[in-house]
Amino acid sequence: MAEERVQRCLAAILAADVVGYSRLMGQDEAGTLATLRARRKDVLEPLVARHQGRVFKVTGDGVLVQFGSAVNAVQCAIDLQQAMAAASHNLPDDRRIILRIGINLGDVIVEGNDLYGDGVNIAARLEQIADPGGILVSGTAYDHIKNKIGVGFDDLGAQSLKNIQEPVRVYRVTGTPRVSVASSISTSGKFSIAVLPFNNMSGDADQRYFSDGITEDIITELSRFHQLHVLARNSSFQFRDKDVDVIRVGRELGVQYVVEGSVRRFGDQIRITAQLIDAGSGHHLWAERFDRNQDELFAVQDGADNCGHADGPPVGDRRRAGQAKDTSQPGGV
């Protein structure tokens, strides 16, 4: 008996999910579910139908939609973000339903009413790194829409996405309502902090994995402090290899503090620099440089751990950054 051939098709996939879903459910589970059902019925489903799409998967906080046209997918995403912003206009900031959206055009596997494969996975990964209220589009989709939709696009370059073998060219749709999540984070009573990807200063692209590893280690160690709300890797890594304004980063990510730095490698010698920055003012609060042999790398991490204290963000002596100590900052920072 001949083996059944796998059915495939080319599709534009839109992936969307709700920002801060766990927080919303924790505040008001029944109310959040009721609001999501209303948004799905009154906003999402009519727009998907208007743009000739098909919802093929729904989760508690997310949705996957198939389109036969990349133009229709992106236009639907733009209309969806605008409609969601309008629907939440009169709600308190910490009760608004805010979406992230990713769109990819690719080959997918068809199994019944469901779709699988990298064509779907790339859209989902783009959604995970999108700004709150934002839309990210893969390069394959962009090639089909760039002269057909009346919006702008920021070229974010090739991005490494989780569990996707090859880097993906990514574009951000401009002109959609930008949303700050600062209010939702501040309600937790914790100091909020984002660790930006450390710059690879070695001149060797292969060493980027090393600098990314240092960044992930710092995120992991900071997450041990219960007084901190530490943004996940996917949120901060969207700013990799970009000359960013820390104040804008803080506003877009909704954090009070930003850690940035660089990694440079000379043979077995490693130099790591790190700075803690007040995202509201852009002022450096603390800075340090670590010169170590590669074998002593873990000693650098242990030293960074000891910079923290129980009442505030984990920082050391800010005088290294040329600043006088200011006890008016949280936790005596």
Structural domains of the chain, with CATH: 8-179 (3.30.70.1230), 183-332 (3.40.50.10610)
Whole-number pLDDT of residue 183:
41
Is the pLDDT at 186 greater than 50, yes or no?
Answer: no
Give 223's contacts (C-beta < 8 A, 6+ positions apart). 230
Whole-number pLDDT of residue 178:
57
* Torsion, CA 210, CA 215, CA 218, CA 220, rounded to 10: -90
Write out the H or E segment, with its range, that includes residue 301: helix 297-305
Residue 6 to residues 3, 9, 108, Cα–Cα distance (Å): 9, 10, 10
pLDDT band (50, 70, 90) for residue 6: confident
Two tokens, residue 212: 């990314």
Nearest to 277 by CA among 247, 236, 254, 233: 247
Residue 28 to residues 16, 25, 31, 97, 280, Cα–Cα distance (Å): 21, 5, 5, 13, 30
Q: Is the separation of the CB atoms in 204 and 262 below 8 Å?
A: no
Lowest mean pLDDT among 2-16, 66-80, 193-207: 193-207
Is the pLDDT at 200 greater than 80, yes or no?
Answer: yes
* Spatial distance between the Cα atoms of 305 and 303, rounded to a whole number of angstroms: 5
Whole-number pLDDT of residue 111:
92
pLDDT 10s digits, 63-89: 999 999 999 999 999 999 999 999 988
Lowest mean pLDDT among 110-124, 144-158, 202-216: 202-216
Is the pLDDT at 296 greater than 70, yes or no?
Answer: no
pLDDT 10s digits, 89-137: 888 877 888 899 999 999 999 999 999 999 999 999 999 888 888 999 9
β-bridge mates for residue 157, sequence order: 170
Would you say the pTM of this structure is higher than 0.85? Answer: no
